[in-house]
Amino acid sequence: MQLTDQLNLGQGFRKYFRIDAAIDEALKDDVFRIRHSVYCEDLQFEPESPDGREIDVYDAHSVHCLLSTSTMPRQPVGCARLVLANPQDPDAPLPFELTCASALDRSIIDPAKLPRERIAEISRLAVHRSYRRRKGEDQTTVQVSESDYSAGEHPRFPFVPTSLLLGAVALAECSGIETVFVLTEPRLAAHFVKLGVEVRQIGQSVEHRGRRIPSVMHVEEIIRNMRAILHPLWHVVRQDIARGLEAARNSATAPDATSAGWPEAEAKPAS
């Protein structure tokens, strides 16, 4: 990675990668195949599927982002998911509400008392093995270390984990989501904090494929407090995600906002 790419992360990102709101079936297929390679094949958290795709019941009311290489042929790199409230059953719990049912400190925040159409959960953040596989990285979905600033065959940090997080934030903002929850390993939560993202722990850690911490983040605060160096990257990611969602909403052949699982939200300029 060249110095100019580090100084302007938006320009560097465009050089190596692209990010899309995975709305059409082809992009969603790439998302599900990355998830299968990570969660089923590499980590064996889920059983392998004959069709090579990892899908669960929450995908019916989720939106996704897909990170790919910018050069052709396009190579899928990573993905993230934003689980929205089920439009058919808004009071149904989000995944973390089930996993952390007895561990949440509801004096800090009680998800059950929040407007369900304004909350969501970031999950299934995964990076293909080709972009994370180094010595000792076999047992994690996303790896972050200081050495990721160095050059290499597959340039990664800050683009890969950071752009996926920002992609999920952009999905949330464009969907009218105010509060996002995440159940994550402590190391990844610490990475978010280093980016200027306020991650507030809302309960005891739980054993869920390793130790995981339930946390809350507020979308407006993420955008307002993110480090200045990330602003160019945020503008690029936000612009691309918003463009994809808007195209889907305006397309006569694409599902509308309601059937796709996200609320109607007026597109706002990137901040």
Run of H or E residues at 7? helix 3-7
DSSP code per residue over 117-167: GGEEEEEEEEE-GGGT-STT-TT-SS---GGGGS--SS--TTHHHHHHHHH
261 assigned to some structural domain: no
Assess whether pLDDT exceeds 60 at residue 119: yes
Q: What is the pLDDT of residues 29-62, one digit of tens each?
A: 999 999 999 999 999 999 999 999 999 999 999 9
Domain range for residue 222?
3-253
The total of other beta-carbon atoms located within 10 Å of residue 187's CB is 12
What integer pLDDT is reported at residue 197 of this predicted model?
A: 83
> ω before 232 within 30° of 0 (cis)?
no
What are φ and ψ of residue 79, in 5° steps?
Answer: -155, 165
- Do residues 113 and 156 make contact, with C-beta atoms less than 8 angstroms apart? no
Assess whether pLDDT exceeds 60 at residue 109: yes
3-state helix, strand, coil in the chain (%, to 5): 40, 20, 40
194 assigned to some structural domain: yes
Q: How confident is the model at residue 196 (pLDDT cuts 50, 70, 90)?
A: confident
The total of other beta-carbon atoms located within 10 Å of residue 28's CB is 19
What integer pLDDT is reported at residue 249 of this predicted model?
A: 80
What CA–CA distance (Å, rounded) separates 184 from 181? 10
Q: Provide the number of structural domains found in the chain.
A: 1
Cβ-based neighbours of 238, under 8 Å, separated by 6 or more: 166, 170, 173, 270
Over range 181-204, report the average pLDDT.
Answer: 86
What integer pLDDT is reported at residue 167 of this predicted model?
A: 96
What CA–CA distance (Å, rounded) separates 58 from 81? 10
136 assigned to some structural domain: yes
**Lookup: tokens for 257:** 């906002």
Cβ-based neighbours of 82, under 8 Å, separated by 6 or more: 62, 63, 64, 120, 121, 122, 168, 171, 172, 175, 177, 180
DSSP-assigned letter for residue 1 = -
Q: Longest Cα pair distance anywhere in the chain, in angstroms?
A: 50
74 assigned to some structural domain: yes
Query: Nearest 5°: CA angle at 29, between 84 and 129?
Result: 95
264 assigned to some structural domain: no
**b/e map 117-136, b = 16+ CB within 10 Å:** bebbbbbbbbbbeebbeeee
Assess whether pLDDT exceeds 50 at residue 255: no
Assess whether pLDDT exceeds 90 at residue 87: yes
270 assigned to some structural domain: no
- CATH number of the domain bearing residue 233: 3.40.630.30
221 assigned to some structural domain: yes
What integer pLDDT is reported at residue 220 of this predicted model?
A: 96
267 assigned to some structural domain: no
What are φ and ψ of residue 8, in 5° steps?
Answer: -125, 95
